[in-house]
Structure 1
Amino acid sequence: MRRRRFLATTAAAGGLLAGCTGSDGGNNGSTAGAGDGTATSASDGTTGAGAATESGSTAAEATGSEATDGAGTTSGGSYSVTMPPVGTVSFDSVPETWVANNGSWADMGVALGKQPPKAVWLTERYHTQYYDDIPGVSVDKSGMQSLYSDGVSKELFYELDGDVHVIDPNFLLNRYKGWGQADVDEIESEIAPFFGNSIFSRGYDWHDDYPYLSLYEAFEKLAQVFQETERYEAFAKLHDDFQSNVSDVVPSGEKPAVAIMWAGSDEPDTFSPYLISPGTSFKQWRDLEVRDAFANTSVRDFHADRSEVDFETLLEVDPDVLLLRGHEDKTRKQFRNTVVSYLESNDTASALTAVENGDVYRGGPLYQGPITNLVLTERAARQVYGASAQLFDRQRVADIVTGSS
């Protein structure tokens, strides 16, 4: 018989799985090149309001029937953690195996010294090369499975048999066909609980009924689940120091206007535009205080209405910097030899200020956690401000992950 690792799930205020009215069949990967989890679409997290602080010292509310502080509750070996929308989840022991929604949560687990999740939504969008410069930290994805493959199989959850599913169940119910509340209830009853919040995007209407969490608020919640609050606190302190270093890089005066877009091929002629929003997907750009080139234009966010822009529209906006997503699997040199080379050779694109000045860069992935955010923010500071100094201590990160700090 399966050894249970949780006791009960109690709905939080506002209702468990608030806002779920059925799956959104219209967003099941029908848009090529840009979506939020399907094999053919790529929404990096876009519009929305209600920004939460990204400070590592600010925690999301953690409560429970026996809670005494923000670290989860413990009693006789059992403990509980509360997070919207799943409510209060009680565990009888620390989960050993787990399944994650995406690379944001997978990276949090790595930061907490845990083994990688058994599965993520799409393994190709969990970019583990960001760990290459962190001594002693690496992730082998060879045995990791993708939850999404032309749909989401309930049977795969049984096969994975994880001790906790770090997935917002509303994402399953509202973004993909074939899942209903009864399916979520079955997985929780027969396998393990769901414990997640869709944090990378602020563009989902169904998320309006419960709070979004910032990166470090979500990170703290997962640390409570894995009973690794000391590692979380060490990362929160490192992040506070990092933010100070980032602030020193940001110049005074007017900041560059950047256009963040999904480029679906090595020779793109149209792009899916993203407006910078409070979702964790844009954390590095908010922290670097860049201006959004699309903010005061007629360009609509892709996540809002699947909009596109072409070279003519870009010439009207003429951003200082082009940040193109969808190419994180390329090195800087590979990106320049393919995408940038094409733009430079295109009669229309070559007239863009960003192309003329050599300011076309990889725009970052959809998902980022505490480690990858450090790497991506430092890279972004080099891209838009020419920063040359390291902004965080790689060995300090490694020591936290390995427990040597």
Structure 2
Amino acid sequence: MTDSFTANRRNVLKTMGAVAGAGAVAGCTTYGDSNDDTEGAYSVTMEPVGTVEFDEVPETWYANNGSWADMGIALGQQPPEGVWLPSRYHTQYYDEIPGVSVDKSDMTALYQDGVSEEQFYDPKADVNVIDPNFLMNRFKGWSQEKIDRVANQSGPFFGNSIFSTGYDWHEDYPYLSLYEAFGKLAELFQQQERYDAFVDLHEQFQSNVEEIVPSESERPSVAIMWAGAADATSFSPYLIGEGTSFKQWRDLGVRDAFDETSVRDFHDNRGSVDYETLLEIDPDVLLFRGHENQTREEFQNGLVAQMESDDTAQKLTAVQNGDVYRGGPLYQGPITNLVVTERAAEQVYGVEASLFDAERVAEIVDGDL
């Protein structure tokens, strides 16, 4: 699918509040000078959308989820006008990065008991960073005709569903790693220098992570699940896959407690596991998604406390040893990944040392390359 459109060029790039002393724009302090802006038309190619042509660098945009939104922030862009579910774009992670913040209070939720075409028209975005196949295969009523109409009346689609490899409709085109997708968005926003700086930072980060990972025999078995509420007694299981939402657990080399059992990934059959099933497997560590908006204390006083009082759950090794944690977000970009990987290293290995330079992240976001 090939689209072309005219985007309004950003005339003024704001300077980062805490670093340079200026105020935040749209609630985000991630703006700095850049030499990457391209004069004139250019194109970017990525599956499944093919080659997308741009007359100028996009200024406003929608993002499928927090993965792509975070990439845009890392590239010094304005926050997206909207994301799929703002509640799952966990902007509190930016608290770990000096001077970087995003106010999502006015961010449009593209999903509101379904997906309306009209959501893409108010306001219109210069580009929709969304995999069109996600819309056509996950929701009723979205056809190629509707995709084309939105692209023509708003902005083109440019995206690849990367957070999970569990969708069979994605088998016809390749998934991208986090940094492959990040590189494509850098081309779109013409921010290759910021991207290159993040690649260097990430390589050092990966080296630091490798140093703290113990030998395979000493790594814990972990079970990753979605818990919808603090009083839940059955959970949606996730097997650690190649999607970007599992990057921190792959990099830390943990053992997947579900991998050699009959438990199937939630995306395969929408199944669940209960305390009895977990007790049969008895993972060393229990990781629950769906609670990222809670503090550690709130999580402990909610789901963990409920497990400690349950006759079956309290027999689990992880509950007895205090190894029940928030399991990380579904969506993570380059900044988020740094923060949640460092947290995960503390959870599973007890490592409390800093694994990345937060000041350097702030500098790159601000354009100090």
TM-score above 0.5: yes
Alignment match, 1:300: 264
Is the CA contact (8 Å cut-off) linking 1:73 and 1:81 kept in structure 2?
no
Tell me, in whole angstroms, the C-alpha distance in 1 between the residues paired with 2:107 and 2:289: 24
What does residue range 264-303 of structure 1 map to in structure 2 within 5 Å?
264-303=228-267
Provide the secondary structure at the position in 2 that maps to 1:298.
Answer: coil
What does residue range 145-294 of structure 1 map to in structure 2 within 5 Å?
145-254=108-217, 255-294=219-258
Aligned counterpart in structure 1 of residue 49 of structure 2, from 72, 83, 86: 86
Tell me, in whole angstroms, the C-alpha distance in 1 between the residues paired with 2:293 and 2:304: 15
User: How far apart are residue 73 of structure 1 and its match?
Assistant: 12
Alignment match, 2:6: 5
Is the CA contact (8 Å cut-off) linking 1:260 and 1:275 kept in structure 2?
yes
Change (3 A) 1:4 1:90: closer
Q: Is residue 144 from structure 1 mapped to residue 126 from structure 2 by the alignment?
A: no
Is the CA contact (8 Å cut-off) linking 2:64 and 2:129 kept in structure 1?
yes
Provide the secondary structure at the position in 2 that maps to 1:284.
Answer: helix
Tell me, in whole angstroms, the C-alpha distance in 2 between the residues paired with 1:167 and 1:219: 14
Alignment match, 2:284: 320
Alignment match, 1:388: 352
Alignment match, 2:12: none
Tell me, in whole angstroms, the C-alpha distance in 1 between the residues paired with 2:242 and 2:120: 31
User: How far apart are residue 158 of structure 1 and its match?
Assistant: 1.3
Provide the secondary structure at the position in 2 that maps to 1:159.
Answer: coil
What does residue range 54-73 of structure 1 map to in structure 2 within 5 Å?
none
Tell me, in whole angstroms, the C-alpha distance in 2 between the residues paired with 1:205 and 1:160: 32
Change (3 A) 1:347 1:388: same
TM-score computed with the length of structure 2 as normaliser? 0.90
Is the CA contact (8 Å cut-off) linking 1:164 and 1:194 kept in structure 2?
yes
Q: Is residue 340 from structure 1 mapped to residue 304 from structure 2 by the alignment?
A: yes
Provide the secondary structure at the position in 2 that maps to 1:323.
Answer: strand
User: How far apart are residue 253 of structure 1 and its match?
Assistant: 3.7
Task: Choose between structure 1 and 2: higher helix proportion.
Answer: 2
TM-score computed with the length of structure 1 as normaliser? 0.82
Is the CA contact (8 Å cut-off) linking 1:106 and 1:369 kept in structure 2?
yes
1:306-347: CA deviations, max 9, x gaps?
A: 111111111100000000010001000110011111111111
Provide the secondary structure at the position in 2 that maps to 1:160.
Answer: coil
Is the CA contact (8 Å cut-off) linking 2:5 and 2:53 kept in structure 1?
no
Alignment match, 1:104: 67
User: How far apart are residue 238 of structure 1 and its match?
Assistant: 0.3
User: How far apart are residue 178 of structure 1 and its match?
Assistant: 1.8
Q: Does 317-326 or 178-187 show the bigger shift?
A: 178-187
Change (3 A) 1:73 1:114: closer
Consecutive unaligned residues in structure 1, runs of 5 or more: 7-71
1:225-267: CA deviations, max 9, x gaps?
A: 0000000000011000000000011012411000000111101
Tell me, in whole angstroms, the C-alpha distance in 2 between the residues paired with 1:87 and 1:353: 49
Is the CA contact (8 Å cut-off) linking 1:73 and 1:80 kept in structure 2?
no
* Residue identity matched to 1:282: F
Provide the secondary structure at the position in 1 that maps to 2:232.
Answer: coil
Q: Is residue 378 from structure 1 mapped to residue 342 from structure 2 by the alignment?
A: yes
Provide the secondary structure at the position in 1 that maps to 2:258.
Answer: coil
* Residue identity matched to 1:226: F
Tell me, in whole angstroms, the C-alpha distance in 1 between the residues paired with 2:153 and 2:270: 37
Provide the secondary structure at the position in 2 that maps to 1:334.
Answer: helix
Task: Count how many residue pairs are aligned between Structure 1 and Structure 2.
Answer: 337
Tell me, in whole angstroms, the C-alpha distance in 1 between the residues paired with 2:344 and 2:155: 38
Tell me, in whole angstroms, the C-alpha distance in 1 between the residues paired with 2:234 and 2:157: 38
TM superposition outliers: structure 1 runs of 4+ over 3 Å: none
Tell me, in whole angstroms, the C-alpha distance in 1 between the residues paired with 2:368 and 2:46: 30
Tell me, in whole angstroms, the C-alpha distance in 2 between the residues paired with 1:117 and 1:294: 36
